[in-house]
Amino acid sequence: MNTIDKLLEVMKKLRDPETGCPWDVEQSFATIAPYTIEEAYEVADAIARENYEDLRDELGDLLLQVVFHAQIATEAGHFDFDDVAGGIAEKMIRRHPHVFGSASEREAGKVDGSWEEIKELERSGGDDPSALAGVARALPALKRAQKLGKRAGRVGFDWPDRQGVHQKIQEELVELEEAAGTRDVARIDEEFGDMLFAVVNLARHLDVDPEKALSGANRKFERRFRDMEAAITGNGKRIKDFSLETLDQEWRAAKKRVG
């Protein structure tokens, strides 16, 4: 028995109503979906830390999620793991004609935009004819905004250059400030969302991944704050007892120390 078959058998046993694990038996697609998302983030975290032993383990956890979903689907008669694996293999072959296609397609090599064109053809056969079809609602908001803007831009609904996006951001900032003056929570929330959406579109025009950029900013802030915190508390003092002006000086010192 190969390792995949072994894993499939383990999951089948765990889901057995008579002899399996009660927790595993009671799960559904919906209840384990959050774990699937969490495991994908843990894979990304291991990669960011360049910890390949952790990466191996996290990839196993993510694979378990695929097997879990496939087992639930098998029990319900929807599909099984072989359908999942076979389907993605066929999709990769279909989307890489420069590798798996005819002699002329292989000779032509990879054509810019061909991947998206093939995906577009695949979507055209679905129930939703919109250019925005298939952009998953469960994506992180920044990533989904990026994809929505890209899809709209592909059919011509976009700013011609970055200056148009800059102007839009300024407009949204003004509207957000106006909303803040009304103390209308719903309006403030809406205008803040509009501003973020415009900023994500600027990232797209700059060919920047906003999720990755914000993650980098988070790490940088944490690194600097922890250094500043350690410097202050190491001298027996407390951050909250410092004035904002003094904290700004400490922050600048931390930036020099840790970048």
Tell me the domain boundaries of the chain.
3-94, 126-208, 212-258
> What does the pLDDT read at residue 121?
67
Could you tell me which residue, 110 or 174, shows the higher pLDDT?
174
HSE at residue 170, side-chain half, CA atoms within 13 A, is 6
* Confidence band, pLDDT 50/70/90 cuts, at residue 99: confident
- Checking if the pLDDT of 109 tops 90, the result is no
* Confidence band, pLDDT 50/70/90 cuts, at residue 220: very high
- Checking if the pLDDT of 126 tops 70, the result is no
Looking at every residue in the chain, the average pLDDT score rounds to 91
- Which pTM was predicted? 0.65
- Quick check: do 3-94 and 126-208 share a fold? yes
Cβ neighbours around 116 below 10 Å, total: 13
> What does the pLDDT read at residue 104?
76
Q: What is the pLDDT of residues 129-151, one digit of tens each?
A: 788 888 888 788 998 999 999 99
Angle between helices 29-49 and 52-76 (to 10 degrees): 160
- Checking if the pLDDT of 120 tops 80, the result is no
Q: What is the pLDDT of residues 16-53, one digit of tens each?
A: 999 999 999 999 999 999 999 999 989 988 998 899 99
Angle between helices 210-233 and 141-154 (to 10 degrees): 150
- Checking if the pLDDT of 256 tops 90, the result is yes
Could you tell me which residue, 101 or 233, shows the higher pLDDT?
233
> What does the pLDDT read at residue 112?
64
Could you tell me which residue, 94 or 76, shows the higher pLDDT?
76
> What does the pLDDT read at residue 122?
66
Is the separation of the CB atoms in 195 and 141 below 8 Å? no
Provide the 8-state DSSP code for 242: S
- Mean pLDDT (whole number) for 200-223: 93
- Checking if the pLDDT of 191 tops 70, the result is yes
* Confidence band, pLDDT 50/70/90 cuts, at residue 107: confident
CATH number of 126-208: 1.10.287.1080
Using alpha carbons, select from 72, 44, 74 the residue that is nearest to residue 59: 44
* Confidence band, pLDDT 50/70/90 cuts, at residue 97: confident
Using alpha carbons, select from 173, 170, 128 the residue that is nearest to residue 151: 128
Query: Which three-class secondary structure state does DSSP give residue 150?
Result: helix
CATH number of 3-94: 1.10.287.1080
- Checking if the pLDDT of 198 tops 80, the result is yes
